[in-house]
């Protein structure tokens, strides 16, 4: 998410990035119009996996402690 938010500053500081071409498309359009959406999904999925793993561990700890 912070990478995403840093993009405008990157474009401001390095105008060449704004005009760069990649895969036949302008870089900003490629990033913000295409790449960002799968990136968000992957980020979300990783977060959920980590959160659920943490919670499962927490519960295992607590439940394990409850049963002597």
Nearest distance from C-beta of residue 63 to other proteins, angstroms: 7
Site for other proteins in 8-67 (CB under 8 A): 8-9, 11-12, 15, 18-19, 26, 28-29, 32-34, 36-38, 40-41, 43-45, 47-48, 51-52, 55-56, 58-59, 62-63, 66
Contact 31, 24 (CB under 8 A): no
Nearest distance from C-beta of residue 61 to other proteins, angstroms: 10
Q: For residue 10, which of 24, 28, 23 has the smallest C-alpha distance?
A: 28
Alpha carbons 7 and 39: distance in angstroms, whole number: 14
């Amino acid at each position: 998410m912070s990478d995403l938010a840093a993009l405008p500053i990157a474009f401001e500081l390095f105008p060449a990035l704004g005009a760069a071409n990649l895969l036949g498309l302008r870089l900003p359009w490629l990033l913000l119009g295409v790449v960002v959406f799968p990136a968000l999904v992957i980020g979300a999925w990783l977060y959920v996996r980590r959160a659920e793993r943490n919670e499962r561990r927490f519960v295992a700890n607590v439940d394990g402690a409850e049963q002597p």
